[in-house]
Structure 1
Amino acid sequence: MAKVTCARCGRDIAMHELEAKTVARRGGFDTRYRCPFCHEDVKDVTDSLA
């Protein structure tokens, strides 16, 4: 199972646990991910894969 580590609280988060918000933009979609524990934005999920 793929996990990311939150830079702020240091917890390992399974991909299905991430809070995601997707917004439609003129040039496509913008998706933001947040830690479900401390609510810090996870800037680049692919760079944070553990």
Structure 2
Amino acid sequence: MKLSIIIATLNEENRIAQTLNDYAQNFSEETEIIIVDNGSTDRTRE
């Protein structure tokens, strides 16, 4: 079964890497993670 997780972000530069690492450790390779950035002015999109 494929699972899709959508994460909405806005200026989450300090937290996005840890969030993605947490999801990667807890879900299988079949899990799709979609990140939607809502116009961040920091380095979230990098």
- TM-score higher than 0.5: no
Ranked by relative contact order (alpha carbons within 8 Å, sequence separation 6 or more), the top structure is 2
Structure in which a larger fraction of residues adopt helix:
2
TM range (shorter): under 0.3
TM-score by length of 1: 0.25
TM-score by length of 2: 0.25
